[in-house]
Amino acid sequence: FCPDPETCKQNCAVEGVDAKGYKKNYGVRQMFGKSDDDDDDDDDDDDEEDDDSDADAKDADGEPIGVKLDFSTEGGNVGSRLYIRDTEHSYKMFKLLNREFTLDVNMKKLGCGTNGAVYFIEMDPFGGMGRDGNAAGAKFGTGYCDAQCPHEKFETNTSMGICCVEMDIWEANKRATAYTPHPCSTVGPERCYGNIECGYGENGERWKGLCDKDGCDLNTYRMGATDFYGPGKGYEVDSKKPMTVVTQFLTDDGTDTGKLVEIRRLYVQNGKLIGNAESTIPGVNGSAITDSFCNAQKIAFEDYDHHQEKGGLASMGEALARGLVLSVSVWDDYSTHMAWLDARFPPAEDPAERLGVIRGPCNASDDGPAEVRPKHKKAWVKYYNFRYGEIGSTYQDKVDRRLEAVHV
């Protein structure tokens, strides 16, 4: 029925799915519990029976507070990706310059080779409705783009992609985490043509495209703080327990029209506010993403500085002011087995010869989809209590939270 785009258009239509279908087919369910604080944090067995304890309780208004994404389903689906809508036919556009974005996460079931990702992308607010025959739009989740310039499944010309600015708030499993700005020379989603413009290829094309595919990542393990984030009481942030993740977008003058100069990470766990770990890499100082941090990191790690070529934080700040769409997902990685997040990458590099190669404690040779899918078949991630507002307003306890904070 659907072997190619033209035949597919003749024979098929987007039908949509209800909540039961989301759960059965894609492992996606709404969360109604007020919190996840009483979740069993001592059990590290990925094959334990599923936890549905949050499905019965409701918040004061009976509204869902988040989502739980299963890594795989009995029907064979692996991974999922969702967006937040504003209306039936449009995505919610977050304008985060001089603001902070906060959510609660539970990562305890995501092991090596998996990635629970929360990120902003400059998608079209209406999901491309009306363009190129698109009659589905945001209601059906169309219009995806990101800084990797992906091409659609049925795109016959694989040298074409769709690019846009991407701000990775949270890419993590229980072994490693990173947050990363990916500026582009685009405004909104833009089609790329050919290996150079799309950044496809292994001979330097990656750093010639419309977007900074590598970005400027802040992974505390990679920056030398190997005991900061991980599973268990020996880590400052215990990934076996729920946590609140705060990301602040600070401007040079503290106004909404200022220039983005810093992206700061904070955590709240067990009632304690935890600042991000300081880098211990020689020549790279700080615990937040700034242009000086990014420039020093690229030099220390001998990485190509495409981030600065694409305008650095100033460029990212312009996109934050325009407005971005929020996406939440869980996935695995055929290409690198998630080594760029939690293992040795590039795999051929000797960490004794090059700093920054070790991104986490995992072994990528054991973490491809063929190994990860049976090993973590009952894994899941929870994202909930999304909120955004003025700097310092979103991570107070629920009684003392300031009025500027807006729940999503």
Residue 388 has pLDDT above 50, yes or no: yes
The answer to which of 52-66, 141-155, 159-173 has the lowest mean pLDDT is 52-66
How many C-beta atoms surround the C-beta of residue 240 within 10 A? Answer: 21
Buried b (16+ CB within 10 A) or exposed e, 52-70: eebeeeeeeeeebbbbbbb
Structure confidence at residue 55 (pLDDT): 42
Structure confidence at residue 156 (pLDDT): 59
For residue 363, which amino acid is it?
A: N
Domain presence at residue 187: yes
Domain presence at residue 10: no
Round to whole Å and give the CA distance between 227 and 236: 7
Residue 100 has pLDDT above 60, yes or no: yes
Please give the average per-residue pLDDT across 119-137, as a whole number: 93
Domain presence at residue 290: yes
Domain presence at residue 119: yes
Helical (H) or strand (E) element with 320: helix 312-322
Tell me how many domains the chain contains: 1
Round to whole Å and give the CA distance between 348 and 338: 15
Domain presence at residue 391: yes
Report field, pTM of the whole predicted structure over 0.85: yes
Round to whole Å and give the CA distance between 33 and 262: 34
Round to whole Å and give the CA distance between 240 and 177: 13
Looking at the annotation, which residues are catalytic?
166, 171
The answer to whether 364 touches 340, Cβ cutoff 8 Å, is no
CATH classification at residue 249: 2.70.100.10
Confidence of residue 131 (pLDDT cuts 50, 70, 90): confident
Please give the average per-residue pLDDT across 140-146, as a whole number: 96
Round to whole Å and give the CA distance between 74 and 83: 24
Task: Provide the phi-psi class of 24: left if phi over 0, else alpha when psi is between -120 and 50, else beta.
Answer: alpha
Provide the total of helices (H) and of strands (E) in the chain, helices listed first.
8, 20
- Alpha-carbon torsion, ordered 149, 152, 156, 157, to 10 deg: -10
Residue 39 has pLDDT above 80, yes or no: no
Residue 137 is given by DSSP the state G
Domain presence at residue 349: yes
Residue 170 has pLDDT above 90, yes or no: yes
Average pLDDT, the chain: 90
Round to whole Å and give the CA distance between 121 and 315: 14
Domain presence at residue 11: no
Residue linked to tokens 């268990």: 232
Half-sphere exposure in the Cβ direction for 329 (13 Å, CA) = 20
Please give the average per-residue pLDDT across 161-190, as a whole number: 98
Residue 103 has pLDDT above 90, yes or no: yes
Residue 214 has pLDDT above 70, yes or no: yes
Structure confidence at residue 337 (pLDDT): 97
Residue 56 has pLDDT above 60, yes or no: no
Nearest to 319 by CA among 227, 399, 215: 215
The vertex-115 CA angle with 109 and 118, nearest 5°, equals 105
Round to whole Å and give the CA distance between 306 and 205: 11
The answer to whether 286 touches 339, Cβ cutoff 8 Å, is no
Round to whole Å and give the CA distance between 341 and 175: 9
Please give the average per-residue pLDDT across 258-284, as a whole number: 98
How many C-beta atoms surround the C-beta of residue 370 within 10 A? Answer: 12
Round to whole Å and give the CA distance between 149 and 190: 9
Domain presence at residue 9: no
Q: pLDDT for 304-320, tens place per residue?
A: 999 999 999 999 999 99
User: Which range marks the domain in which residue 41 is found?
Assistant: 17-407
Please give the average per-residue pLDDT across 256-269, as a whole number: 98
